[in-house]
Structure 1
C-alpha cells in the first residue's frame, strides 16, 4: 500500500513538470532575399535560361540567318546617303510660356514700424471679481483636481490618407470618411511615444498612422468641444473642454480641474509647458501657471495688457510671450510684464500665433492684419500687398531651411523664404483653406488642423508634380537633357521640346508639327545643336531653325560619343552612325541581333552599348559582341541602360527586372528581391550613390550597403506622393542642382535630393489592444461577470491591454493589435510575430498590425513581435507575457485526487480479489478431480480415434499415389500426341515441298504429262490432308484398328459421325469439339445424341467408354451386365 502511494505522488510530480522549451531566439530573415549572381558565359554558353529555366533558342533574323553571340565579330556597316533635311523657322510666343511655380510670388517690402518705449507696470491689486467670487492673483494658490474613470473606446481603423484631384504636391488629407471623429480640428500635438493627439469638436483623438482612438463625452469627457491640447514631458495629455476648465489624462484616469475660482465655468484656449515643466494656460481671466501643486493667476493687476489670452509661447531665454485678444503682445520674464501694443509700434491687436526663429526674431500672427516680424527694435509688417495669400494667421512654424510657414484661416498655407511667398491652397491640394492649427514633425512634415476638412499632412520636401504647358492637364515627357546654358530640356510626347530655366517652361512654336509625331529622345551635341528622336525622323534645332531628317524612319534613341559621332537607334530600321559627313547603317547582316534599338549608352571606356529586343551588344570601335540569354542575360528584351559612378552597367529588362553587370557576372533584382515590378523602364543615380529605378508599377531606390556590398530597396508609390506609377522608358534625369526628373504616364515628376529626408529610423513596435474571444474589453472597467475570471496587475497606460494577464482555459481566442506610432511610414510597416511553444518560426511579415490565435492550450506564453519599415531595419522585439490556466480536470489537485482515488480503488480491489481467489481455490480443487477422471476417459477414446485416423491416412496416401500415376500417364499421352502431330506436319511439309519442286520443273520444261502427274500428286495430297484423314491418321496411330472395328460393327456411319467418334475417342469436350469443327455446341450435342441412338448405346454408358471397346459393349456379356444394371435401378 505504501509503495502505491509513493508511486502516485511521483506521478503527480511528472504530470506537473513541463518540458523545457527552446529559448533561443529565431532571428527573422531579411524582408527580401539577397539577389543572385550568375557568371557571364562567353564560351559554349548556357542551354537554358539560368534565371527562368526556359530553353534558349538561337537568334534568327527575318532572312533566316543565325546571329552569332558571345564572340567578337567584325562590325563595319554600310555607308548610305544622308538626304538633306527640310528646314523650318521657329518663333516663341508669349502663350507658349508657363511659370514653373504658379504659387510663388516675389515678396514686396514690408511696412516697418520702429519700437517705442515699452510699458512696464505692476499694479498693487492682488485680486479680481469673477462671477461674484474673489480671485486672488499674483500669489500661489493650492490647486487640486477631481479624478474620474475614463472609459476606453475601441480602435477605429483609419483608412489611407487621400490626395485631392488637383494636388501638385504631396499633400494628403484625412477626414471623417477615413475614420476621424470630427472634421473640425482646433489643436494638435505630437506625442513623445509616437502618433498625434487631436483636439476636435467631438472630443480628443489619438492617431498612430493606422488607427484612431476617440475619447468623447460618451467615454467620460466633460465636454466634447475641445479647443487646446498638449502633451507634457511626463507624457500626460492636457486639454481644455469648452467651458469646463482644464483636464489631464495620464493614460489611466482623467483629472478635471474645474472647481477653483478662475477655472470653473471658464474656457481655456492656449496651453503650453515651459522648459521647467510648468503648465501655462490662458483664458478670459488672464494667464495661469501651474507647477503641479499650486497655481498663480496673472492678470492686468500684474501687468498684462489684457486678460483675454489668445496665444502663449516660450522663447529660448525662457521668457513667456502672451498674445491677447485686443491689446497686442506681452513678454513675461518671471518677474514683470513688458507690453507691445499699438502704442509701442506693434501694428497688431489680436495675436493668434507667436514664433521665435533661428535668428532670434519674434513673429506674430494676427486676426486680419497679416504677420509681423520683430527683431527687438523694429516691426516688419507683411500683408497681402507684400505677397501673402491670407491675413488671418492662426499658426506659425519654421523648417530646417529657416523658412517661415504661416497657416491662415482665409488663404491656406504660406511659406516665406525671405524673398518669395509660396501659396499652398486648395488649388495645390489642400482640402481646406481654413486652417486652425499647424505643427511640424521630426521629418519636417507639416500637419494642419482645419475647420471643416479634418487633418492635412504636407510633405513638401518630397515628390512634386510639374505642369509644363498651360493648356494641358497631363503631359507625358519622354526624355530630359540639360543644355550648355543649364536649361533643362524636356521632350514631351506630342508637343515637342520644352525648355526650363528654373522659373519658366518655354515651348517653341512647333507644337502643331509634333501633333502626330510622338517623341522619344533628346540630346545636345558638342556644337550646341539639339537633336530630337521622333516617330518619323530626326529633328535638329539650331537657334530658331528646325531641320527635319529621315522622315520615314522611327527614331527611338540618340547618343553622341566622345569622338562626336551621332548614333541613331531606330525602330525596325537598325542602327545608324553619323560622323558629320557620312551616314553608316548597321543591320542584321553586320551582326546586329535585332533591327529595333531601344536604348544606347557609351561607357567610361568608350564602348558603345546597344540595347535591342534580342539582347545586348557591345561595340568597342572594332568588333561587336552580342549578349543574349545564352551568355547569361535574364531577359533579352532590353528597355534601358545606365552606367553608375563605379562603372557597373545596369540593365533594365521587359520582364525580368534589373541586372547589374560588372564585366564578369550579372546580379539580378526582381520583385522577389524587392522591386515594385519586373518591367524596368528607367535607371538613374543621384549624387549620394543611390540608384533610382522607374518601373511600370512604381519607383524604387537602391541604396548601397558598404558592409555587405549589396543594395537595400525602398519602394515608392501613391502614398509617397507619386501621382502616377507608370514611368516612361529612359525618361529619368539628374540636373546640376541635384534634382531628379522623371516622365510618367500622367505628369512630370521631380524630387530635390538635397532636401528629401530618407527614412532611416527603425520603428518601435508595441502592443495597443488585446481582444479576447473576439470581444472588445475595456480592462479598466470590466464587468463583474468577466472580472471574476480575468486576473492582471494593471493596464498599460495609453493602451488597452493588461499586464501579467491570467485567463481561464476557455478564454483562449486572443487577438493582438500592434502599433509603431509611425505617422509618416505606417503604410510601409510590416509585422512579424510568434508565440513561444506555439510557433516554431516567425510569421511571414505582413502589413496587417494584427495577430490572432485561436484555441490556445493552457500554459505560460510570451508573444514576440517585430516590425520593419522603409529603413529595412528590424525593430527591437516587443514581448508580452500571459498565462492561460488549465481546466479543472488538468489541475494538480484534481490529478492528485484522481490518483489517490485510483490507489484506494486498486487497494480495495486487491483485497476483494484475494478473498475471491481463496474461496474459488477450493471449488477448483474439486472441479479438478472431476475433470481428471473425465480426461482419462477422453484420453482412451483419443487413442482409439488415433489408430482409426492412421488407417485412413494410409488409404488416402494410396489414393494419392494412384492419382499421381494417372496424371503422369495423361502427360505422357499428351506429349506423344504432340510429337505425333509435329511428325505429321513435317511429313506434309516435305510432301508439299516435293510437289512444289515437281511443279517448278514441269513449268520449266512445259511438259503436259509432267503437269498432269503433279496435278494428281497434289490431289492425292489434298485428299490425304482432309479433316477426316487427319483425324483418322491420328486415331489410328494412337488406337490401332479402332476405325476398322467401327466400320465393321456400324457400317452405316457417315464420315461426319466417324469424325465425332474420333473426337470423343480423343477425349475432346463438347466446347472443344465445337471450336475445332467451327460449329455451335448445340450442334455437337445433337450429333452425339444421334450417334448414341444410331449405335444403340444405353444412357448409363458414357460414349467415351463405349468407343474405348465397342466390340465388348456389343457382346452378350455387356448386354447381360446392362440388363442387371437396369433391373437394379428399377
Structure 2
C-alpha cells in the first residue's frame, strides 16, 4: 500500500477518525425499527359526510362498514366509500350489524332499522320499546339478533321471521357499558358491575351478577373502561399495570405499563400492542416484564377499533385509520452513503452488509443495526463481494482484498492479490481452490500457496469477470463479453446465440444438475443446459420479467430470484411454464432497481438490496399471499340502461342469481353490471369476467369494475366474474348471477314482419302463379329447341364421321399401294408413320364425336367406353385387366370438355402401362360416394419408375394439365419395381 505524508492525508485521517466516533455513537444510541407500519387516513375527502366514527364492523365479504356520529353508514372497499342508504344520511349511528343474506341492522339514537339485501329501508322500532331509550349495541347469534339499549333493556329478535322473542332488563346500567360476546354468552361490564347473559334458542338468562373487582379478584374498585379483551385473553389496566387473565378469568399475570391513563381500546396486531389513550394511539412491544413504547401514531384518541387478518382499524373524531404492515419491509439503513449494498454474508445470528462507501454494516436478524466496520482508507469502504472462509471473511473492496476476522472484526490486506480489484469470488466444491474474478486482470485461482492467472490469451472472452459459478468439475465464468467454462483442460467459451456475443454476464446461478441460469446486462435471462450445450429457455421483459437488465440471480427453494433494473421477480421452476411473479405487484418498493450480489437468504426471509434501501421479503411470499382465502367478488348492480332507476336490481350487499329471477324485455336489452371486492393489500387487483351465452371466452384481466353489454339478443345468460391473478393451487369459484332477455310473441320482429308483409305476400303469390305458367311455357319451347339442336348435332357428327372415315381410308389405301410398288429403306418408316397417324386420327375423331354426344357425358358411359378401349388394347396380350364399379354412376354428370379430358387421361394411363410397364395385372376401380364425388384408381404391378415430379414426362404432364383444367384431383405414386398407382377424384359440383 502506498503511503503519502502530506497535509491533505492528515486532514483526511482526522476527518475519518471523527466520522468513526460519530458513527459508533449513532449506531449505539439509535434504535432502528425494522417494521414500518403504513397508515391510511379515510376522512371527508373520501366522501364521509361526518368524520366522527362511532363503530366499525366487517361483513362476510371482507368489506369494512363504518357508522358515524350524524353522517349515516358507509362501506369501505379499499378504494372508495359507498353510503348504505340515503334514509340514514344524517343519522347519529350508535352501532351496526351486518347479517348474512339479510342486510344491515342499524341502531341510532332514536330508531332501530334494517336495510335489506335488496337495499330497502325498513323501520324496526316496533320490535324494541324505544320510548325514552335507544339501542347502543347489536350482536348476532345463530338464530337471533341481540339488542342492548342505553337503559339496560336486552332483546332477542328471531332472524328468520323478524319477531321479538325475549327480553330482560339490567336495572343498574348507567348508559355507558362494554359488551363482549363469546358465542352465545355475553359479558357485560357496566360502571363497576359485571353481568353474564346467556342466550339459548332465543331465550335470555342472567347467569352471573357481581362487581368487576370480585370477578377478577382485585381488591380495589375497577371501572368498565379498565377492562379489555384481546383474542382469548382478558386485560385489566390499572394505572401503570396491565393484568392478563385467561378466558375463564383465571391465572393473572402482571406487566408494567409506561402510560397511566385509562385506555379506550387495546388491540394486538402483527406482533405489537396498540393502545388508544386520550392523547393518542401508541404502538408498544411486550417484553418479559413490561411494555415498551415503539412509536406514537396519532395524537388523539380512537373511540372504536377493529382487528382483521390484514389490518388494524381505528375510528376517531376525524375519520377512519387503516393500519397495515407491508409484506415487503425496508431494513434500517445507516445515515450515510448509498442505501443499497453490493454484498451480504452471515456470521452466526448477524448479517454483514457491504456497499458503496459504507464499509461493513452489521445487523441482527430482526433488521436492527448492531455495529459497523469502517476502514481508515476510504477505498476499502467500497465493498463489492464477500466470501465466507469459516472464521474469516474475504472482503473484496475497491482498494484490494481483505481478510476480516468474524469475532474480533480485525482486518488485514491479502498480499497475494495486492491492490487487485475483485468483482467476484467463489470457493470450489472441494474447498481446495479459491476463484477470483477481477476488474480487468482476468481470473485468479489460489490453490494451496500458489496463485494462477488466466487472461484473454488463455481463452477468456474478456479480462473483466462479473460472476463465477463453481460446479463439481468445472467453473462457469461470466465476463464482460460472454460466458466461458474452466476445467482441467483449460478455458472454453460457451457458444450462445449471436445476440449474446460480447454482452456482459452479470450473474450465473445453478438451477439443477443439468441447467444453469445466465443473467445478461440488457438481454435478459437464459436457461442453459450444460450437458446438451443447448439453450432451454429465454426470458426477457417481453415474456414475464420486470426488466431485461439483470443484476443478480439466486436459487431459493426451487425458485429463482431475479434482481433487475426494475425490481425483483421470482421464477417458479416446479412446472414447465416458468411462471414469473413480480414483487412490484405486491409493494411498489419491490420494483426498485437492485444491486449486483445484493441478496441473502435467511431462515424465513430474503433480504434484497435496492436503490430505495434494503428490503426484507418473506421467503415464501406467494404462499403467504394465498394463506387467507381471497375476498370474493360481489355483484352489486345489474340493470337495464333504459329502465327507470326505481326498478333497478341493485344491492350493496351483493346480488345472487340463484335466489331471484331477473328478466328484462327485449327492448331494454342494454345491461349494466357493477361488481366489487374488498381489497386492502397492495396487490394490483384485476378482474376477469364472462357472459355465458354471449362471450365465447373470458375477457382479458381488467381493473374496471363496471361492464356494459349493449343490445343483447333474447336468451338466458349467466354473468361470471372472479379476481385475477389466481394462483395455481387456488380453486376458481366465480361469482355468478343469472338473468334473461325476454321476447313476447306479439312484440317479436317476426310477428311484426308477418303482419306488415301479409298483403304483399298474397300479391306476390298470385304473381308467382302467373310467372310459373309463363315459365312452363318457356321451358317447353326451350326443350323443343334443344331437341332440335341435339338432333342437328347428331346428324352433323354422323356426316363428319363418315366423311372423315372415307378420306382416312383413302390415305391408308394409298400408302398400301405405295408399299406394293416397293419402297426404299428410307421411305418405309415414313409410310408407316402416315398409316399410324391416319389410324390414330380416326380413333381420336371417333372419341371426339363420342364425347360430343349428349348422352355420353356421364361417368357411367365413360366407364363402358373405357372398357371397350381396354378390351381392344389388351386383346392380344397376356395382361389381366380387371374393371370394377361399385354402383351406377350415371348421376355423375360432366361437361363435354371434362368428359373428353377424363377419357383421354384414362386412355393415356392405360396406353402407358401397355407400352412401358410390362404388367401382369391391371385394375381399374370406380368408387361412387353417394352424390358427392367419385374416386377412380388405376393400378398395375409392372416395373414402375422413380417418380420425382413431371419433369421430362410429356404424357404425365398432359394428364396433369387436363386434370387441372377440368377440376379433377390428380395424383401419381410410383416406385421402381413396385408398380404405379394413379388416383383421380371427381367432385360432382365442380364439373357439371
Q: CA shift at 1:746, angstroms?
A: 1.6
For residues 903 and 738 of structure 1, do their structure 2 counterparts lie closer, same or farther at Cα, with a shift above 3 Å needed? closer
Confirm or deny that 1:847 pairs with 2:712.
Answer: no
Give the match for residue 685 of structure 2.
828
Matched residue of 1:547: which SS?
A: strand
For residues 733 and 185 of structure 1, do their structure 2 counterparts lie closer, same or farther at Cα, with a shift above 3 Å needed? farther
Q: CA RMSD in A?
A: 4.4
- Give, in whole Å, the separation in 2 of the partners of 1:380 and 1:745: 46
For residues 692 and 241 of structure 1, do their structure 2 counterparts lie closer, same or farther at Cα, with a shift above 3 Å needed? farther
Q: Is the 8 A contact 2:712 2:741 kept in 1?
A: no
Which stretch has the larger CA shift, 430-439 or 221-230? 430-439
- Give, in whole Å, the separation in 2 of the partners of 1:432 and 1:750: 30
Computing the radius of gyration over CA atoms, which structure comes out larger, 1 or 2?
1
Q: CA shift at 1:807, angstroms?
A: 4.3
Give the match for residue 526 of structure 2.
659
Q: Is the 8 A contact 1:575 1:597 kept in 2?
A: yes
Q: Is the 8 A contact 2:345 2:353 kept in 1?
A: yes
Q: CA shift at 1:733, angstroms?
A: 0.7
Q: CA shift at 1:264, angstroms?
A: 4.5
Give the match for residue 819 of structure 1.
676
For residues 276 and 478 of structure 1, do their structure 2 counterparts lie closer, same or farther at Cα, with a shift above 3 Å needed? farther
Q: CA shift at 1:494, angstroms?
A: 2.1
Match of 1:547 among 405, 412, 426: 412
- Give, in whole Å, the separation in 1 of the partners of 2:410 and 2:721: 66
Spell out the pairing of 1:529-928 with structure 2 (5 A cutoff).
Answer: 529-542=392-405, 543-548=408-413, 553-561=420-428, 562-579=430-447, 581-603=449-471, 605=472, 607-630=474-497, 636-644=503-511, 648-663=515-530, 664=532, 665-687=535-557, 689-705=558-574, 708-717=575-584, 719-720=586-587, 722=589, 725-735=592-602, 737-753=603-619, 757-759=624-626, 761=629, 764-770=632-638, 772-773=640-641, 779=645, 781-782=646-647, 795=650, 798-799=653-654, 804-807=661-664, 811-824=668-681, 827-834=684-691, 836-837=693-694, 839-856=695-712, 861-869=717-725, 871=727, 873=730, 875-877=732-734, 878-883=736-741, 891-906=749-764
Matched residue of 1:488: which SS?
A: strand
Q: CA shift at 1:466, angstroms?
A: 1.6
Confirm or deny that 1:327 pairs with 2:198.
Answer: no
Give the match for residue 12 of structure 1.
none
Q: Deviations over 1:970-1029 (max 9, x none)?
A: xxxxxxxxxxxxxxxxxxxxxxxxxxxxxxxxxxxxxxxxxxxxxxxxxxxxxxxxxxxx
Q: Deviations over 1:471-495 (max 9, x none)?
A: 3597222221102x33211113221
For residues 425 and 556 of structure 1, do their structure 2 counterparts lie closer, same or farther at Cα, with a shift above 3 Å needed? same
Q: Deviations over 1:199-236 (max 9, x none)?
A: 234322223345442235xx111743334332235553
- Give, in whole Å, the separation in 1 of the partners of 2:502 and 2:180: 62
For residues 204 and 662 of structure 1, do their structure 2 counterparts lie closer, same or farther at Cα, with a shift above 3 Å needed? farther
TM-score normalised according to structure 2 size: 0.64
Spell out the pairing of 1:90-239 with structure 2 (5 A cutoff).
Answer: 94-98=24-28, 102=32, 168-169=36-37, 172=40, 174-177=42-45, 183-201=51-69, 202-215=71-84, 219-221=86-88, 223-239=90-106
For residues 710 and 754 of structure 1, do their structure 2 counterparts lie closer, same or farther at Cα, with a shift above 3 Å needed? closer
Ranges in structure 2 where 5+ consecutive residues have no aligned partner? 6-12, 199-204, 775-992
Q: CA shift at 1:868, angstroms?
A: 2.4
Q: Is the 8 A contact 2:195 2:207 kept in 1?
A: no
Q: Deviations over 1:158-178 (max 9, x none)?
A: xxxxxxxxx824555555545
- Give, in whole Å, the separation in 2 of the partners of 1:682 and 1:530: 21
Q: CA shift at 1:510, angstroms?
A: 1.9
Q: CA shift at 1:424, angstroms?
A: 6.1
- Give, in whole Å, the separation in 1 of the partners of 2:25 and 2:423: 30
Match of 2:164 among 273, 280, 294: 294
For residues 255 and 491 of structure 1, do their structure 2 counterparts lie closer, same or farther at Cα, with a shift above 3 Å needed? same
Matched residue of 1:827: which SS?
A: coil
Matched residue of 1:585: which SS?
A: strand
- Give, in whole Å, the separation in 2 of the partners of 1:645 and 1:433: 57
Q: Is the 8 A contact 2:226 2:262 kept in 1?
A: no
Q: Aligned residue pairs: how many? A: 730
Q: CA shift at 1:716, angstroms?
A: 2.0
Spell out the pairing of 1:298-447 with structure 2 (5 A cutoff).
Answer: 298-301=168-171, 306-315=173-182, 318-324=184-190, 326-327=191-192, 329-333=194-198, 334-342=205-213, 344-345=217-218, 348-351=222-225, 354-355=228-229, 357-358=231-232, 361-364=233-236, 371-375=242-246, 376-377=249-250, 379-382=252-255, 384-385=257-258, 391-397=262-268, 406=275, 410-414=280-284, 416=286, 421=291, 425=295, 434-441=301-308, 443-447=309-313
Q: Is the 8 A contact 1:271 1:279 kept in 2?
A: yes
Q: Is the 8 A contact 1:465 1:723 kept in 2?
A: no
For residues 653 and 272 of structure 1, do their structure 2 counterparts lie closer, same or farther at Cα, with a shift above 3 Å needed? farther
Give the match for residue 332 of structure 2.
467
- Give, in whole Å, the separation in 2 of the partners of 1:416 and 1:257: 45
Q: Is the 8 A contact 1:567 1:577 kept in 2?
A: yes
For residues 363 and 473 of structure 1, do their structure 2 counterparts lie closer, same or farther at Cα, with a shift above 3 Å needed? farther
Q: CA shift at 1:902, angstroms?
A: 1.9
Matched residue of 1:572: which SS?
A: coil
Bigger fraction of residues in strand: 2
- Give, in whole Å, the separation in 1 of the partners of 2:38 and 2:127: 47
For residues 553 and 887 of structure 1, do their structure 2 counterparts lie closer, same or farther at Cα, with a shift above 3 Å needed? farther
For residues 350 and 608 of structure 1, do their structure 2 counterparts lie closer, same or farther at Cα, with a shift above 3 Å needed? same
Give the match for residue 521 of structure 1.
385
Q: Is the 8 A contact 2:361 2:372 kept in 1?
A: yes
